[in-house]
Amino acid sequence: MEVKLDKQYPLDVDATRAWQLLADLKAVAGCMPGAEITEQLAEGSYKGAVKVKVGPAVAQFAGQVDVLEIVPAERKMVMLGKGADKGGSSATMNLTAVITPDAANPAHCVLNGTAAVIVNGKFAQFGGRMMVQVSDMILAQFVENFRQTALSLPAPAAAGGAAPAASADAPAPAAPPKVAGELNGLAIFWALVKGWFAGLFGKRA
Amino acid sequence: MNAPAQTAEARELALAGMGASRLRKEDARFIQGKGNYVDDIKMAGMLHMDIVRAPVAHARIKKINKEAALAMPGVHAVLTAEDLKPLKLHWMPTLAGDVQAVLADGKVHFQMQEVAIVIADDRYIAADAVEAVEVEYEELEAVVDPYAALQPGAPVIREDLAGKTEGAHGKREHHNHIFTWDAGDKAAADAAFANAPVTVTQHMHYPRVHPCPLETCGCVASFDPIRGELTTYITSQAPHVVRTVVSMLSGIPESKVRIVSPDIGGGFGNKVGVYPGYVCAIVASIVLGRPVKWVEDRIENISSTAFARDYHMDGELAATPDGKILGLRVNVVADHGAFDACADPTKFPAGLFHICSGSYDIPAAHCSVKGVYTNKTPGGVAYRCSFRVTEAVYLIERMVDVLAQKLNMDKAEIRAKNFIQKEQFPYTSAFGFEYDSGDYQTALTKVLDAVDYKALRAEQAAKRADPNSPTLMGIGLVTFTEVVGAGPSKICDILGVGMFDSCEIRVHPTGSAIARMGTITQGQGHQTTYAQIIATELGIASEVIQVEEGDTSTAPYGLGTYGSRSTPVAGAAIAMAARKIHAKARKIAAHMLEVNEADLDWEVDRFKVKGDDSKFKTMAEVAWQAYHQPPAGLEPGLEAVHYYDPPNFTYPFGIYLCVLDIDRATGETKVRRFYALDDCGTRINPMIIEGQIHGGLTEGFAVAMGQQMPYDAQGNLLGNTLMDYFLPTAVETPKWETDHTVTPSPHHPIGAKGVAESPHVGSIPTFTAAIVDAFAHKGVTHLDMPHSAFRVWKTLKQLDLAL
Amino acid sequence: MAKKLISVTVNGRVQEKAVEPRTLLIHFLREELNLTGAHIGCETSHCGACTVDIDGQSIKSCTHLAVQCEGSEVLTVEGLAQAGVLHAVQEGFYKEHGLQCGFCTPGMLMRAYRFLQENPKPSEDEIRMGMSGNLCRCTGYQNIIKAVQYAAKKLQEQAATA
């Protein structure tokens, strides 16, 4: 089953630091709850794993991520990720991520992601109807971690642009955020349900 | 021992024979929870089997790791195709001339295909062990669209058939092509179309659905290593065929194989084929020397057992401007899934689809069916279809409506105009079927009068004229003829065994009787209806006639129950066997009364001397005599067996009319009225007929209004649980009105034609006809099923009719 | 998995058995107690073939653990007839031809039994709604409705003469 994603996430991080993080695949993997890069196979090719838990059922996706293209001038990264779980699910993701600076505010940027995800096996059979919503939620978690990680990087040099002074309300934690050891499907589902109910009453989740 | 003095009418009533709506003899055990279904069976030392299934639709198997599963306490064995190879059982023949993998042999062809089996002490351990088996797959591109499957570069599904250009049914044109089968006269049909003043064409898809009986498939296989005998309790609609197949596959002589179909919780064609699970359980039992039980769960049932339909049909009609049909052409692409495991008579890879000229006198016709492999569950023939009669009737009834709309003719009028007339029977159709009898016009008039058809059309016209009408009203009319009772052995066989059927009857000394047949009831009430046939033939109360089916060690050989064949074939065998007994009884009675046989009359339950009512012998008295002192020249005892090879199929027919209202805001359909008139010839038990009609109409409602088996592009079957698969509850199910006419079959010993697939065959196009009719004034000629609220709502939106 | 000792009254008899905590009630009834009347038709709790009566409620035993029945009173179809006399619902299904293959029947009977205590004088629509947790593939429900109506009438007559 195929899911197409085309998302734009405004971030209160400057484009330079965002791109610095994006180009570091190991660190980016660290922003995905339950994910890690375990081994570098070659230049731009890595073995990775994602652990997903839904109640007592745990799926361990083992797979490979290949960076197909890195274009620093465009702050663009294209990658292909493939994983399979021994229990009978598999997923393939073709992702293009681009950081575009915010013309109005050099301290901000936009993380653009276009992806085609194909999910096969048990997850497709039984989770199909929730695929889009669950993907949205996972991505939202990822983006928040990405943002915090990027903000924790040392600020870029002042050359060519206004020094991005930390504004009063921008959180700048000393260390990268603590990312959950596994992707908790039930927690996501619960958040989904809460969001749906909230939507019924006109509130934005 | 003398029967009490009673009128003939009273004795007739006491007999509860043919025509009586007598209550069922089998109910006692079911209403007290004492049925005996396969999963109820427990045997000493019995183990449980569960199946490891493929999570993806098309893949190579790189590695199967059994260690973790084998290490679990309580696990006795884990078997894969490699373990079946030495026994040559990793592949098995299908009923359609193809082969099917018993366990995936290096390659997976459809999602949920059987890959490995685990045998364990109980079902919980077996389920845990299934999760522990590790299989490494290399995914391949899947193809789920049969048209895409026939493209030049399409993925190769059946590598085991590489290079085989001849299939079981002729030439194979492409690696995913199975067969092309045709019937009728193409030249005559083409000529009719070339000169026709009016032609219409319509493409339609009869979507893939699943019979989903409430009891899933399963078996308990028990090989006795000391006696060298195999006994298997199995959910099978054809136990004798299973015995023959099992003997051929296992090498155990048929005389040492016993197959028992106990009580079966619904078949509907889902329990005809031999599934890998059965073969594996039998192998496991032989290997381990212990009984092995395998019962699938609902997801497995929907995902891996015989589905129904999936016919993509292109129909064409040629006609005169006033609606007389001149010719019919049909082309079908048939999606059989990964293996052609259809349960069809050998010579008919498209079943009896060529009944598609229907109830109409069509002079020239041709149909062609192209079978295709895809990465989906194997099968195609199931679900009360009478061997593709569902598809055929759907096609012709849709086409007649399309023609009616083109010519702006009333849908009842165009049918009446084209009916085969009563005087034309027996009628040979353009496809070669010899229809035995029918009177369509009488039945149609009866239905139209009963519903006040004119008033309905007037109401519809008024609603159409009102732009604010909250609903769209649709009237669906279907006048179908089906072909059942397979069938004459010269054209109908299953794996070479002719499709006759059988009955053996034995009358006991004290006047009760036992009878066994080669069919097997799955709810059709044979224990009651068969006893009723015998009761009338022999004058023994049906209450004391014991009917048994399903045990191949005691029942005479038969081809089983499906395709509405029990009454036409086994019912005939019953009558013929009973008549043999009746003839012998007549001789004995004549001897006892010291008259010639010609001086005797038969009345209800006795032989009476003509002109002297006081001189008679009841069948019970004759039975005693047969065991006490038969006349010279006659053997003792009173029994007979008959194997009946039918001379022809039978042709029941029906007229169904549906009125429904579609809510313009939601797309929801409310069935206002459904009038179903069936003619199945002689009616044995009207109550049982009516019950089955209700059931078939409800299954038809489910198919037309909500059932589907949606596969995504990768071959994942989305919606294989009852969360998604629409089984109507008492709330959605409409109220049914039933009616009948009786046009006996002239070639059948009791004039009966068979019934109970007809409501499914006939109702599905009726619902579709009504839905389309609701939109007909906007030029809509066809809408594919299912007619769920969402799909209908989309049509409302497209046509700017939504409120 | 360590077993737990439970004590449950089934059809009037106290049963003390050791069960794994994960054992479903349907399997406990069918395999441990040999009460094979309740059937398994699905694994998503839709079909109702497993319906039994626990402490005055219709319960689908496929989604109920045996250990949850500690101290409870369970009634199955085998316990409906009393001293060889069929219960009104059983008689109704027989008289009105409310069954064909019989697989859904025990669940239907147990649900009808409880439903008529919840609603002794139901309308047809109320019967359809009240029985909507039990699926049938053979009958189309029409005669099942008549069977429940028959039983309702008989139970009221019995109550009137009691």
Is-contact B234 B293, C-beta < 8 A?
A: no
Contact residues, chain A, for B716 at CB < 8 Å: 1, 120-121, 124-125, 128
- Gap between the Cα atoms of B763 and B393, Å rounded: 10
- CB contact at 8 A, B381 and B415: no
The CB-side HSE value for B361 (13 A sphere, CA atoms) comes to 17
- Tell whether the model's pLDDT for residue B29 goes beyond 50: yes
DSSP state of B525: -
Q: What is the pLDDT of residue B545?
A: 98
The number of C-beta contacts closer than 8 angstroms across A and B is 46
B625 flagged as catalytic = no
Q: How far is CA B459 from CA B467, B474, B780, in A?
A: 14, 10, 20
DSSP-assigned states of every residue in B424-440: G-SEE-TTS-EE----H
* Candidates B35, B297, B733; nearest CB to C140: B733
CA B580 to CA B585: how far, in whole Å?
A: 9
Residue B55 touches partner A, C-beta closer than 8 Å: yes
Question: What is the SS3 string spanning chain C?
Answer: CCCEEEEEEECCEEEEEEECCCCEHHHHHHHHCCCCCCCCCCCCCCCCCCEEEECCEEEEHHHCEHHHHCCCEEECHHHCCECCECCHHHHHHHHCCCCCCCCCHHHHHHHHHHHHHHCCCCCHHHHHHHCCCCCCCCCCCHHHHHHHHHHHHHHHHHHHHC
Counting as contact any 3 or more CB pairs under 8 A, the partners of B are A, C
Look up tokens 């459904």; give the residue: B674
Residue B727 sits at the chain A interface (C-beta within 8 Å) = no
CA distance B470 to B488: 53
Catalytic residue among B53, B208, B384, B388: B384
Listed as own residue / partner, the contacts of B424-427 with beta carbons closer than 8 Å and 24 or more positions apart are B424/B361, B426/B746, B427/B361
Output the CA–CA distances (angstroms, integers) from residue C49 to B39, B205, B441, B637, in the order listed. 13, 33, 43, 45
End-to-end CA distance of chain C: 50
- Mode of pairing for the β-strands spanning B545-549 and B170-171: unpaired
In this structure, is the dihedral angle defined by the CA atoms of residues B733, B310, B212 and B724, taken in order, positive or negative?
negative
Is the distance from CB of B296 to CB of B47 less than 8 angstroms?
no
- Tell me the average pLDDT across B201-207: 98
- Is residue A120 predicted with pLDDT exceeding 90? no
Lowest mean pLDDT among A158-167, B5-14, B84-93, B439-448: A158-167
Mean pLDDT for chain C? 97
Place of tokens 């509130």: A203
Separation between Cα atoms, residue A142 and residue B255, nearest integer Å: 67
Cα–Cα separations (whole angstroms), residue C31 to B43, B104, B281, B412, C17: 12, 32, 20, 57, 12
Is B131's Cβ below 8 Å from some Cβ in A? yes
> What pLDDT shows up at residue A140?
80
Residue A154 has a pLDDT of: 87
Continuous segment of H or E residues that includes residue B59: strand B59-65
User: How many angstroms separate the CA atoms of B342 and B380, rounded?
Assistant: 5
CA B509, distance to chain mean position in Å, is: 39
Question: Are C90 and B31 within 8 A, CB to CB?
Answer: yes
Beta bridge partners of A99: A111
pLDDT given at position A203: 45
Active site residue B385: yes
Which H helix or E strand runs over B241? helix B239-250
Residue B465 CA to residue A15 CA, distance in Å, equals 63
Q: Would the pLDDT of B775 be above 80?
A: yes
> Is A125's CB within 8 Å of B718's CB?
yes
Give the Cα separation of A28 and A50 in Å (integer): 13
Q: What is the pTM of this model?
A: 0.94
Task: Report whether pLDDT(B92) > 90.
Answer: yes
Q: What is the pLDDT of residue B4?
A: 55
Residue B22 reports pLDDT greater than 90: yes
| ipTM, interface predicted TM-score of the complex | 0.98
Work out the angle between the directed axes of helices C105-118 and C88-95 (0-180°, nearest 10): 120
| A83 three-class SS | strand
Q: How much is the CA Rg of chain B, to the nearest whole Å?
A: 28
- Sign of the Cα torsion C43, C44, C50, C56 reads positive
- Percent of chain C whose pLDDT exceeds 90: 98
**Which helix (H) or strand (E) segment is B645 a member of?**
none
CA distance B460 to B570: 46
Q: Do C46 and B692 touch (CB under 8 A)?
A: no
Q: Which residues on C lie below 8 Å from B687 (Cβ)?
A: 97
User: Pairing between strand C4-10 and C73-75?
Assistant: parallel
- A64 to chain B, any CB pair closer than 8 A? The answer is no
More confident call, B760 vs A58: B760
Task: List alpha helices for B504-628, DSSP H.
Answer: 526-538, 572-593, 619-628
CA-to-CA separations, B417 to A1, B319, B393, B411, B679, in angstroms, rounded: 49, 12, 18, 10, 20
* Cβ of residue A181 closer than 8 Å to a chain B Cβ: no
Residues of B in contact with A86 (CB under 8 A): 134-135
Active site residue B12: no
Interhelix angle C142-161/B686-705, nearest 10 degrees? 120
CA torsion through residues B28, B33, B39, B45, sign:
negative
Model pLDDT, residue B5: 63
Q: How far is CA A197 from CA A141, A191, B182, in A?
A: 20, 10, 57
- List the 652-681 stretch of B: residues with Cβ below 8 A of A: none
Mean pLDDT, to the nearest integer, of A18-42?
84
Residue C48 tokens, joined: 């109702």
Report how far residue B191's alpha carbon sits from residue B643's, in angstroms, rounded to the nearest whole number. Answer: 44
Sign of the dihedral defined by the CA atoms of residues B624, B629, B632, B636, in that order: positive
pLDDT at residue A69 above 60? yes
Chains C and A touch each other (3 or more Cβ pairs < 8 A): no
Mean pLDDT for the stretch of residues B212-224: 98
Record: contact B265-C47, CB cut-off 8 A: no
Mean pLDDT, rounded, for A33-50: 83
- Provide the strand spans (E) within chain A: 2-11, 35-42, 45-54, 57-71, 76-85, 89-101, 109-121, 183-184
Confirm if B730 and C115 have CB atoms less than 8 A apart. no
pLDDT score of A205: 34
What pLDDT is attached to residue B284? 97
Paired with A63 in beta bridges are A48, A83
Q: Under a CB-based contact definition with an 8 Å cutoff, are residues B208 and B309 in contact? A: yes
How many C-beta atoms lie closer than 10 Å to residue A38's C-beta? 11
Of A164-178, B204-218, B317-331, B438-452, minimum mean pLDDT range: A164-178
Q: What are the chain A neighbours of B111 within 8 Å (beta carbons)?
A: 121, 125
Looking at the DSSP bridge assignments, the partners of residue B617 are B607
Average pLDDT of B137-165? Answer: 96
Q: How far is CA B531 from the centre of its chain?
A: 23
Which of A162-171, B483-492, B713-722 shows the lowest per-residue confidence on average (mean pLDDT)?
Answer: A162-171
**Could you tell me the pLDDT band of residue A185, with boundaries at 50, 70 and 90?**
low
Going by the DSSP 8-state scheme, the letter that residue B722 receives in this structure is T
**For position A79, what pLDDT does the model report?**
86
Residues C30-60 have pLDDT tens digits of 999 999 999 999 999 999 999 999 999 999 9
Q: Hey, which residues does A36 pair with through a beta bridge?
A: A49
C11-38 pLDDT tens trace: 999 999 999 999 999 999 999 999 999 9
Which of C43, C137, C148 is the best residue to mutate to test the B interface, defined by the most B CB atoms within 10 Å of its own CB?
C137
User: What pLDDT score was predicted for residue B2?
Assistant: 52
pLDDT for A139-181, tens place per residue?
Answer: 788 888 888 999 888 887 654 444 444 444 444 444 455 555 5
B626 vs B618: CA distance, rounded Å: 12
Q: Does B139 touch chain A (CB under 8 A)?
A: yes
- The candidate with the shortest Cα–Cα distance to B350, out of B371, B329, B331, is B371
pLDDT of residue A111: 92
Determine which one of B100, B237, B405, B532 is catalytic.
B237
Q: How confident is the model at residue B226 (pLDDT cuts 50, 70, 90)?
A: very high
Amino acid identity, position B336: H
State the average pLDDT over residues B682-692.
98
Is the pLDDT at B477 greater than 60, yes or no? yes
Q: Do B730 and C77 touch (CB under 8 A)?
A: no
Set of chain A residues whose Cβ sits within 8 Å of the Cβ of B712: 1-2, 124, 128
Give CA separation, B6 vs B13, B535, B538, B604, B605, in Å.
Answer: 11, 17, 18, 11, 11
